[in-house]
Amino acid sequence: MHETLRRFQQAAVRQSAAMDELVRRAVFGSTAEREEARWVIWEVGQRAGVRPASIHDLYLARGRGELPPFTTPAMNIRVLSYDSARAIFRAARRLDVGALICEIARSEIGYTEQRPPEYVAVVTAAALREGFTGPLFIQGDHVQVNAKKYAIDPDAEIAAVRALIEEELAAGFYNIDVDTSTLVDLSQPTLDEQQRVNFERAAETTKFIRDREPEGVTVSVGAEIGEVGGKNSDVHELRAFMDGYLRTLKRLGPHVGISKISVQTGTSHGGVVLPDGSIAKVQIDLDALKALSRDAREQYGLGGAVQHGASTLPPEAFGAFPACEAIEIHLATNFQTIVFDHPRLPADLRSEVNAWVKAECKDEWKKGDTEQQFIYKSRKKAVGPPVAAHAPDDLEAGE
């Protein structure tokens, strides 16, 4: 093991096919082989300056007005993760990119069977392979409370979320997006009452993270005020959430709060799929996004608002996000689409995927959907092995 570590101290070895083989063992090896390979990758990264880090301080500096507007891409790498992450780091070096985030959601961990330790190893190895140096912002996206499960047994669902958070922290996820927005109750008469369970559970989860984060690390915690795909958010909801969140967090102890807030401005996870399988153009309320980001910074010192469901937007839309001062955008589905629809994907493999989806995910075929719509929505389940694909979704987290 230590001889392998010494060998990978050389940049020429790190940036060779030897790293590819090490990653293969980290993902597909026996239990002992996986543990050894992941340990080597972690230690090589520590020595080479490729280390998991928190984006918290950078975002709060933006909240204080010490930095000009910027928008961090948060990319859900769920398929061909090593190869996809390598492409990301190649592009980052070529374009001299600053901050970027690699993330995976609670649901994606399930149906792709990529647990946090594997994900951190793969992303770290990809950065090393491409000669990337600097902080690795690895994020737990949509660490979300399932509303149906919560209604049946709140304690069990919260315990499941906390177990995942502990696993993520131990692996090197130093950025965690807490999503209790599923618990917002729009039937309540006031905004405070609508957001109450959301902000109380978000504050409790923040405390849970602060009590367990590694020494010397302030994990970047995000929260969410409106479930993606639901009604659009406004500044009144933002203030109701933040005032209640800060009030609750203060009651729980002297804990550092969130660094950003996710909002809903017109997008949906995975986009709106048309009958031919293409994606409909979506109108984003950019004025609302700008107002929410400004209020988050000026009133609460956060980095700004976060835009979800962005990867299926038209290319010309992306320049608007820094102009609207959104602190972060989440991108997932199109990275998957690049793989599934790539002309070099073997035709027999594509046919096998489609046949598997029609056989194993037929219960998800909604009435009125064409075959193309159904396959587009459900083919993500084919990424992982059948046992993982049948795991229940905690959310539909394809951005």
- Per-residue pLDDT band for 267 (boundaries 50, 70, 90) equals low
353, with CB counted inside 10 A (0-12, 13-18, 19+), is: middle
* pLDDT at residue 397 tops 50: no
Site of tokens 């891409």: 73
Provide the mean pLDDT of the chain.
91
Average pLDDT score over residue span 232-242: 94
Separation CA 326–CA 75 (nearest Å): 15
* pLDDT at residue 275 tops 80: no
52-339 maps to which CATH number? 3.20.20.70
* pLDDT at residue 389 tops 60: no
Residue type, 195: Q
Which residues fall within 8 angstroms of residue 135, CB to CB, at 6 or more apart?
51, 52, 53, 55, 99
- Per-residue pLDDT band for 276 (boundaries 50, 70, 90) equals low
| pLDDT score, position 399 | 46
Q: State pLDDT tens for residues 3-60.
A: 889 899 899 999 999 999 999 999 999 999 999 999 999 999 999 999 999 999 999 9
- Per-residue pLDDT band for 284 (boundaries 50, 70, 90) equals confident
* Residue limits of CATH 3.20.20.70 in the chain: 52-339
12, with CB counted inside 10 A (0-12, 13-18, 19+), is: exposed
Average pLDDT score over residue span 236-244: 97
- Per-residue pLDDT band for 264 (boundaries 50, 70, 90) equals confident
Separation CA 241–CA 235 (nearest Å): 10
* pLDDT at residue 228 tops 90: no
Instruction: Name the 3-class secondary structure at 374.
Output: helix
Structure tokens at 318: 């992306």
* pLDDT at residue 151 tops 90: yes
Contact at 8 Å (CB) between 333 and 398? yes
Average pLDDT score over residue span 363-374: 92
Q: State pLDDT tens for residues 310-351.
A: 777 777 888 899 999 999 999 988 889 999 999 999 999 999
| pLDDT score, position 313 | 79
pTM of the predicted structure, to 2 decimals: 0.92
| pLDDT score, position 233 | 87
- Per-residue pLDDT band for 286 (boundaries 50, 70, 90) equals confident
* pLDDT at residue 234 tops 70: yes
Q: What are the angstrom distances between the C-alpha of 387 and each of 336, 381, 382, 390?
A: 20, 10, 10, 5
Which residues fall within 8 angstroms of residue 118, CB to CB, at 6 or more apart?
26, 27, 34, 38
